């Protein structure tokens, strides 16, 4: 694996006679290379280093595993029981009708008259996820859990021959089916780096196994759309098109630095090396926000149910903030109205805090702006989705006991100290006795949707989040 310093157009003019193994590959500035020379570049050795496992139609497969009556049938997993919501998962059988994640329920029913809509059970998906991860560990160490249904494993030298990695992949697949459930199939990709292994896992579904060898790169990728590459969305696709790059072939035929300039940003040439099979180190990432959103059921989209739901989401976000040892300096309230596909949002600064009561007070101050926006709409206030996000988060390091805890109870400084202590006490009670054992404000009486923990893209809830 190469250091980040080797990113500056690290290509090779070939091995140097008599040089040590460490000196065999020397960087050559790409601007000194002609077009003909670029066609004959020799890259460093790129053995198979990553195995990437992607569980097929994961949420729907779990539902079929739990309920034998659903097996072999087209099913759709939805967040709420409403035709206006969208699928968060579709079974393999449903996908044959063109139904996929994001398909509106009403459209899915039009595409397939026999579609079965089942409510999401996120706690079950996390239980199965934990069991599957444990099963994979029986065969190979798990290097990175990429999402609820994706896992990456680094291959050692005694595991990365074609024969060895093929046998390993089949053992993992068989172990999951035998010990977790027959419905839990997976597609596996193997390649010199994690990005390519992920691409390979998408090439054959369901239950596939694709190995991308270094000698086939990048030509093996030329038939794939640019959007198949993680990090290339509609905006980046347009940017690349403006630079004359409309497919993977055109990107790879550029010099590394030219490809990086087209991509833009720091280390923009990383993608060129990754597509050619170089195994670059991961760029460090850091959590920048903590938040929750909720799609409201049709009868709970009015002003007061939305307000109560937003407060509940804020409490959940604040609880996660404390558990991770962070504090926040920004609160964002956002949502989507029924007659508008775009996001509505408003934000306010916070004092650096992890106190639920400070966060709720800031939310209450923002809510009149959402109410005013809703009243301007012709059909009245009807909000389909509401979310609360805590931003500008930072670790709480070296926290000391407050000097103000013994001031007069009505003193603002003492009030903040007691609020944080009370917030932490609520966390402990809810973790011990279950969700809603204690909360702030009304949560019953039919005025608020059940706001459960859900699995977001790239984030798997911890088990005790289902008690918040």
Helix (H) or strand (E) holding 126: helix 122-137
Residue 150 annotated in active site:
yes
Does 28 sit behind a cis peptide bond, omega within 30 degrees of 0 on the bond before it?
no
Cis? peptide before 218, omega within 30° of 0:
yes
List 23, 39, 93, 150, catalytic entry: 150
Here the tokens at position 256 are: 């590394």
468: tokens are 């918040």
Q: Edge-to-edge, what's the strand order for the sheet holding 116-119? A: 89-90, 75-78, 116-119
Residue pair 352/329 in contact by the 8 Å Cβ criterion: yes
Q: Is the peptide bond before 392 cis (omega within 30 degrees of 0)?
A: no
Cα 397 to Cα 324, 389, 428, distances in angstroms: 12, 22, 21
DSSP 75-120: EEEESSS-TTSB-SEE-HHHHTTT--TT-BHHHHHHH-TT-EEEE-
Rounded distance, CA 91 to CA 108, Å? 12
Q: Apex CA 261: angle with CA 255 and CA 262, to 5°?
A: 90
218 and 276 Cβ atoms separated by less than 8 Å: yes
Do residues 58 and 206 lie in contact, with contact meaning Cβ atoms separated by under 8 Å? no
Phi and psi of 141, rounded to 5°?
Answer: -60, 140
DSSP letter for 311, please.
Answer: H
CA distances to 97, 98, 244 from 110, rounded to whole Å, are 10, 11, 40
Q: What is the DSSP letter of 203?
A: S
What is the rounded CA–CA span in Å between residue 398 and residue 396?
Answer: 7
d(CA 278, CA 192): 7
The 3-state secondary structure of 332-392 reads: EEEEEECCCCCCEEEEEEEEEECCHHHHHHHHHHHHHHHHHHHHCCCCCCCEEEEEEEEEC
Point out the residues that are catalytic: 150
């Amino acid at each position: 694996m190469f250091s980040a310093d080797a990113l500056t157009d690290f290509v090779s003019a070939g091995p140097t006679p008599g040089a040590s193994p460490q000196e065999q590959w020397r960087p050559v500035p790409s601007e000194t290379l002609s077009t003909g020379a670029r066609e004959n570049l020799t890259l460093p050795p790129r053995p198979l280093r990553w195995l990437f496992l992607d569980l097929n139609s994961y949420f729907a497969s779990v539902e079929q595993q739990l309920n034998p009556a659903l097996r072999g049938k087209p099913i759709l997993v939805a967040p709420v029981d409403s035709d206006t919501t969208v699928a968060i998962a579709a079974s393999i059988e449903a996908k044959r009708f063109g139904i996929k994640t994001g398909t509106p329920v009403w459209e899915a029913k039009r595409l397939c008259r026999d579609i079965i809509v089942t409510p999401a059970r996120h706690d079950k998906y996390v239980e199965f996820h934990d069991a599957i991860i444990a099963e994979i560990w029986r065969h190979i160490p798990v290097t990175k859990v990429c999402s609820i249904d994706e896992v990456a494993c680094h291959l050692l030298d005694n595991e990365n021959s074609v024969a060895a990695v093929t046998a390993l992949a089949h053992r993992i697949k068989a172990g999951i089916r035998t010990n977790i459930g027959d419905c839990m199939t997976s597609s596996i990709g193997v390649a010199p780096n994690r990005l390519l292994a992920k691409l390979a896992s998408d090439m054959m579904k369901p239950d596939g196994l694709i190995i991308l060898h270094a000698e086939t790169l990048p030509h093996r990728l030329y038939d794939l759309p640019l959007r198949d590459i993680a990090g290339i969305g509609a905006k980046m696709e347009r940017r690349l098109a403006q630079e004359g790059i409309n497919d993977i072939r055109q990107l790879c035929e550029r010099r590394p630095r030219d490809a990086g300039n087209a991509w833009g940003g720091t280390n923009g040439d990383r993608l060129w090396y990754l597509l050619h099979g170089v195994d670059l180190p991961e760029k460090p990432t850091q959590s920048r926000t903590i938040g929750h959103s909720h799609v409201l059921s049709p009868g709970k989209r009015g002003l007061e149910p939305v307000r109560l739901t937003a407060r509940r989401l804020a409490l959940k976000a604040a609880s996660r903030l404390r558990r991770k040892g962070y504090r926040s300096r920004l609160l964002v309230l956002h949502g989507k109205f029924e007659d508008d596909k775009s996001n509505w949002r408003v934000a306010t600064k916070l004092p650096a805090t992890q106190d639920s009561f400070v966060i709720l007070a800031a939310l209450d101050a923002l809510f009149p702006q959402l109410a005013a926006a809703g009243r301007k709409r012709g059909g009245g206030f009807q909000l389909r989705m509401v979310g609360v996000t805590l931003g500008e988060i930072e670790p709480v390091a070296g926290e000391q006991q407050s000097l103000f805890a013994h001031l007069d109870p009505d003193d603002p400084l003492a009030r903040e100290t007691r609020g944080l202590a009370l917030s932490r006490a609520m966390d402990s009670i809810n973790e011990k006795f279950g969700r809603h054992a204690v909360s702030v404000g009304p949560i019953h009486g039919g005025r608020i949707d059940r706001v459960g923990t859900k699995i977001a893209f790239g984030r798997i809830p911890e088990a005790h989040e289902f008690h918040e």
